[in-house]
Amino acid sequence: MKKYLANFVFSAETAPILNGVLITDDGGTVLDVLENGEGLEDLIVVEGFLCPGFINSHCHLELSHLKGKMLERGGLVDFIRPIIEMRKARPDVVQHAMQEAEEEMKTNGIVAVGDICNTGESFGLKADSELHYHNYIELIGLDPAMAHSVFADGVTLQDRSTEMGLGSSLVPHAPYTASAELLRLLGGHGRSTDATLCIHNQESVHENTLYMDGTGPLREFYAGFGDDLNFFTPTQTNSMEAVLRSLGADVSVLLVHNTYTTNADLSRVSDYNSQVSYCLCPNANLYIENRLPDIELLAETGNLMVLGTDSLASNWTLSILDEMKTIAASYPGIQLSTLISWATYNGAKLLGLDSELGSFEKGKRPGINLIYDVDMDSMALLPHSKIRVLA
Ligand SMILES: [Zn+2]
């Protein structure tokens, strides 16, 4: 048995406990959370904040070998152009980079990952991993004539994921790579399998331009590949509204990034779907577009909020703590307890892992993170705050 006494215990579901005690068995299963350590012997005194293991709600393990190779702050279109070419790396290079990326996530207290897959390259590593993975099998096809064949290829890859014991969803990549037809197929599949879908949403302002009137850098991006996009009909709406309408209601949808999402966009969400959640990847937003979403605006919707690192192609680290620090620095009004619930309980809930992960509740084995070098007086993170994994 282990009894940790910390300056604050954050458990996502309860208010932070000053000088709280977390009691676990030797394997890390929670036995109790106490308001103080009175009368207890053999206390392990730790300085800092204790919180459950982090959930990385958006990652691309497959892109780990692109660490440090992509241009920073060049905007989304100039980011995706070279990725298509650079993806063609040697399998051993890809595998080694994914292993290192996973080790980095473990060191940074991440216990579960919602991971985007364009191939099955990561399945072997995940099947043997002690981390929990959910595969978001990502489909790309803006040409509506391709929708059924793209969908069929996705089902084949999903079957492989299932055979290897890995939970999965079939998901669209982004508004500018998914036809309305493909979105309808994926929305229907998500509804019938009770799966959560995710889609990169408004990561660039050009997505809205493309949907509004069919112009802009994304159209030019396709023209560079010889695609004239004659099959694409602008919806004369922002991309987010078009996507939600095509996916349909009664399906859980995680919108990732939301860098250019406005109040007007958010005010229409409930017309289309009541199960929309928002994933923030602030460091990737800074890496690619050098801009953050309006995080307070998103939080005010009351919808579920979660955090992700995105890939090492578009981030310096795979650390949920680093994402929290970036939000705290730009939005000091958002309390640490709120950030921790986004990073733990909400992420676990979205992945359907909340019976085991996400909070310090009896019987769960959620992982134990100690965040130290913190601002104890105002219960906040500092730029140099660090993490140590206790279990
Ligand atoms: Zn992504």
pTM of the model: 0.97
User: pLDDT value at position 84?
Assistant: 75
CA 289 to ligand 1 centroid distance, Å: 13
State pLDDT tens for residues 256-308: 999 999 999 999 999 999 999 999 999 999 999 999 999 999 999 999 999 99
CA of 330 to the centre of ligand 1 (A): 22
For residue 58, report the distance from its CA to the centre of ligand 1, in Å: 6
Q: How far away, in angstroms, is 28 Cα from ligand 1 center?
A: 31
Residues in contact with 20: Cβ distance below 8 Å, sequence separation at least 6, in sequence order: 5, 6, 8, 9, 33, 34, 35, 36, 50
Residue 13 scores a pLDDT above 90: no
d(CA 316, CA 287) in angstroms, rounded, equals 8
Token pair of 370, please? 């100690």
Ligand 1 centroid to Cα of residue 391, in Å, is: 28
pLDDT tens digits along 161-220:
999 999 999 999 999 999 999 999 999 999 999 999 999 999 999 999 999 999 999 999
| C-alpha closest to that of 304 among 342, 261, 361 | 342
Give per-residue pLDDT as tens, 92-138: 999 999 999 999 999 999 999 999 999 999 999 999 999 999 999 99
Predicted confidence (pLDDT) per residue in 215-250, tens digit: 999 999 999 989 999 999 999 999 999 999 999 999
- What is the structure's pLDDT at 78? 81
pLDDT at position 76 over 90: no
State how beta strands 43-52 and 2-9 pair: parallel
The stretch 24-45 carries a mean pLDDT of: 96
Compute, in angstroms, the gap from residue 65 CA to the centroid of ligand 1: 15
Separation of CA 139 and ligand 1 centre (Å): 13
Give all strands of the β-sheet with 54-59 in edge-to-edge order: 54-59, 110-117, 132-139, 167-172
CA atoms of 295 and 303, how far apart (whole Å): 12
Q: Give 126-143 pLDDT, tens digit per residue.
A: 999 999 999 999 999 999
Rounded-to-integer distance, Cα 58 and Cα 308, Å: 4
Report d(CA 190, CA 252) in Å as an integer: 8
Ligand 1 center to 238 CA (angstroms):
20
Closest to 351 measured CA to CA, from 297, 308, 311, 302: 308
Residues 322, 23, 305, 191, CA torsion sign: positive
Helices (H), 36-172: 76-86, 91-107, 123-127, 147-163
Average pLDDT of the chain is 96
Instruction: Place 45 in a pLDDT band, splitting at 50, 70 and 90.
Output: very high
**pLDDT for the residue numbered 46:** 98
| Confidence grade of residue 70 (pLDDT, cut at 50, 70, 90) | confident
Task: Note the pLDDT of residue 82.
Answer: 75
> Is the confidence at residue 12, as pLDDT, over 90?
no
Q: Give residue 136 CA to ligand 1 midpoint distance, Å.
A: 11
> 79 pLDDT band (50/70/90 cuts)?
confident
Q: How far is the CA of 379 from the centre of ligand 1 (A)?
A: 31
Task: Kindly report, residue by residue over 323-353, the tens digit of the pLDDT.
Answer: 999 999 999 999 999 999 999 999 999 999 9
Neighbours of 255 (CB within 10 A): 23
85 has pLDDT over 80: no
What spacing in Å lies between the alpha carbon of 266 and ligand 1's midpoint?
21
**375 C-alpha to ligand 1 centroid (Å):** 31
